[in-house]
Amino acid sequence: MGTAPPEGAPAQLSQPARRLLGDLIRPHRARLALVAAVTVSTSVLAAGIPLFVAMALDTGLPRAADGDPGPLVGATAGFLAVAVLVSLGTFLGIRLNAALVQRMMFALRTRLFRHVQRLSIGYHERSTSGRLVSRQASDMESVQQFMAGALIQSVMALVTMVAIAVMLVWLDPLLALVVFAGFVPLTFLTIWANRRQRAAYRATRTTIARVIVHVVETMGGIRAVQAFRREQRGLERLDEEDAAYCQANTEALQGMAWYTGGTRLIGNLSLAVIVLLGGWLVIGGDTEVGVLAAFLLSLRRFYAPLDELVQAFNAYQSAAAALEKIAEVLSARPDVPEPVSPAGGTGDQADAAPEDQTGNVPEDRPGSAGRGEGDEASPRGESRGESLRGEVRFEDVSFRYSASGAEVLPAFSLHVPAGQTVAMVGATGAGKSTLAKLLCRFYDPAEGRITLDGTDLRDLPDRVLRRRIVMVTQESYLFSGSVADNIRIGNPDAGMAEVVRAAQAVGLHDFVESLPQGYETDVKRRGGRLSSGQRQLVAFARVFLADPDVIVLDEATASLDIPGERLVQAALERVLAGRTALIIAHRLSTVAIADRVLVMKRGRIVEDGTPAELVGAGGEFASLDAAWRETLV
């Protein structure tokens, strides 16, 4: 079993983060080389600007005083030309880098979203949506800010410093040696700041994730918050989480302040020493005023990039922590991996219904979109005959949700013939939902195996498994968008005629036609425009359109009132026609349509038979049935 993502990013994630950055850069090496070439060229040109000042002071002015303004004009023109080239190069470098970064960030966001969708249900049950939102939002923003701005600024700053350092040595080696001596304390200061800031920015990524988690959970459960008047407690908890985030940011900014102050102190002290030593050399005739002026200008430009490096360093620490968090999610592996060697005969063509050359499912398949206009679903199994598929077997299946957890299913075995509808009843914790999750392969059994038409589920490619087995829960989640789009989730390639037939099959068509825009009506967030029963009918229409072999219903009518339940029950019988079905039900009205009932207790089957047989046996199901019938009086 996998583990939930930890609160903090351990140090060993630095290597995965570097590999992730390498993966992002690799497809864009040519563009990156172009950006680097423009950036380096621009920085080298910028470093040479003080040379024109030296030429103007030491050569241009004396020659102009003698009546020859040519050298002064030339030095000035050179200065302006280089300044224009530097401006154009800076513009081009930033623009090229921005386009490159957007491509890389697009790839990273897509990769993260795709990966998160592929992770097993177990991962999402252990994690929180707020933390994943933090990875896609604030962490991505930190990475983008660094790569789009701070990265190119830091490269330009470093190249400028190197170019200026070479020029300082060329202008005056003795003065250059004094400047370079300042890098000894600067190196120790940078090492100290790096360690401090790395820890500080890891803390900021963790604390902002907690803030986002709390906000997402509160907004998602706003009805419960308002119903139980928990607004004040929610605000207090937000204050706690936000205070921790503010404290982490404060510590990070304090570290940056120390580093900024330290670098500026070292730069100013070096400048003061150069003024004194350079003045003494000019007085002694060992150097010229123009050289000293160029040296001082270069020195100011030499230390000026340190401010940019400090800002870039600050952004880098935040981006590095964010990249580690993203790499952490990307390093998670599904608990139920795809088979390395899929079982023979389980490819798309083998597992799908027979198709004609146009890709349409033959019309004689029950519930298929290929049924003629106005046809009703066939009685269960009547039209499938020998082609009926969906036999399910649990063979000595053992399962627990964690290595140290209690065993939920101890050596469980069950055979469900193709086309049979099986209802499971029992107290909470009996193992019913676990069976459903295992059959849908949200988890894999620790021991034993589960087969579909004789093939182990672990040998079926995910695309095949998800087409052949479909689950419907009481939540009936609807996405923002039209009714048609929500039904079409069952088959994204379905045309409008097929969508309408699916709605007609489950008794939803007349209601949809009464909506303002019919099938194009927006259902709003989470289907808020529809009632619980109507949302459930949309879910059944999806299933009808998907046309699976096996349907798993996990308390699909538990949240409905009596009229809504009756409406859904009628649709349910049409959807289940000709298919294998596993129904988890607390309401025994749902059991009435089952061919067979299983009564479960502590992961074992204690009663097995038709509803009539179990009522006649006078066991636990008979007691449940009697209690249910009393509620109907």
Question: Using one digit for the tens of pLDDT, what is the confidence trace for 357-409?
Answer: 333 333 333 333 333 333 333 333 444 444 568 899 999 999 988 877 788 99
Q: What is residue 453's predicted lDDT score, i.e. its pLDDT?
A: 92
Query: What pLDDT is recorded for position 307?
Result: 64
Mean pLDDT of the chain: 77
Q: Lowest-pLDDT range, 115-124, 210-219, 343-352? A: 343-352
SS3 category, 318: helix
For the chain, give the percent of residues with pLDDT over 70: 82
Q: Is the pLDDT of residue 479 over 50?
A: yes
The residue among 222, 235, 9, 217 whose CA lies nearest residue 128 is 217
> Residue 421: CB partners within 8 Å, gap ≥ 6?
380, 576, 580, 581, 583, 593, 594, 595, 596
65 burial level (CB within 10 Å; 0-12, 13-18, 19+): exposed
What's the rounded mean pLDDT across residues 502-514? 86
- CA dihedral sign of residues 16, 21, 24, 30: negative
Q: What is the mean pLDDT of residues 593-610?
A: 90
| 566: confidence class by pLDDT, cuts 50, 70, 90 | low
Q: Is 440 helix (H, G, I), strand (E, B) or coil?
A: coil
Q: Over 70: is that where the pLDDT of 58 sits? A: yes
Average pLDDT over residues 154-162: 75
The pLDDT value recorded for residue 387 is 54
pLDDT at residue 580, rounded to an integer: 92
Q: pTM for the whole thing?
A: 0.65
Q: Are 455 and 462 in contact (CB under 8 A)?
A: no
Mean pLDDT value across residues 45-53: 77
How high is the pLDDT of residue 12? 39
Answer yes or no: is pLDDT of 480 > 70.
yes
Asked which of 196-205, 405-414, 571-580 is least confident by mean pLDDT, the reply is 196-205
Q: Is residue 416 exposed (0-12), middle (13-18) or buried (19+ Cβ within 10 Å)? A: buried
Q: What is the pLDDT of residue 347?
A: 41
d(CA 574, CA 551): 12
Mean pLDDT of 56-70: 79
Q: What is the mean pLDDT of residues 208-220?
A: 78
Share of the chain above pLDDT 90, in %: 10
What is the pLDDT at residue 396? 93
Residue with tokens 């299933």, as numbered in its chain: 543
Q: Is 9's pLDDT higher than 50?
A: no
Task: Give yes or no for a contact between 522 and 482, defined as CB atoms under 8 angstroms apart.
Answer: yes
Residue 54 burial class via C-beta count within 10 angstroms: exposed 0-12, middle 13-18, buried 19 and up? buried
Mean pLDDT of 548-575: 71
Start-end of CATH 1.20.1560.10 domains in the chain: 14-331
For domain 14-331, which CATH number applies: 1.10.260.40, 1.10.3660.10, 3.40.50.150, 1.20.1560.10?
1.20.1560.10
CATH of 385-632, one of 3.40.50.300, 3.10.20.600, 3.40.50.620, 3.30.300.30: 3.40.50.300
Q: Which residues contact 408 (CB under 8 A, 6 or more apart)?
A: 399, 400, 401, 431, 434, 603
Side chain identity at 485, as an amino acid letter?
A: D
Q: Is the pLDDT of residue 561 over 70?
A: no
pLDDT of residue 435: 92
* Higher-confidence position of 17 and 548: 548
Q: CATH 3.40.50.300 in the chain, residues?
A: 385-632
In this structure, which amino acid lies at residue 183? F
pLDDT tens string 287-331: 777 667 777 777 776 766 666 676 677 777 777 878 888 888 888
What φ, ψ does residue 278 adopt, rounded to 5°? Answer: -65, -40
Count other C-beta atoms under 10 Å from residue 159's C-beta.
20
Residue 594 has pLDDT above 50, yes or no: yes
| pLDDT of 339 over the 70 cut | yes
Read off the pLDDT of each residue in 175-201 and give the average, rounded to a whole number: 75
Query: What is the pLDDT at residue 582?
Result: 92
CA-wise closest residue to 204 among 317, 349, 91, 71: 317
Q: Which pLDDT tens digit goes with each residue over 102-154?
A: 888 888 888 888 888 888 777 777 776 677 777 777 788 888 878 877 677 77
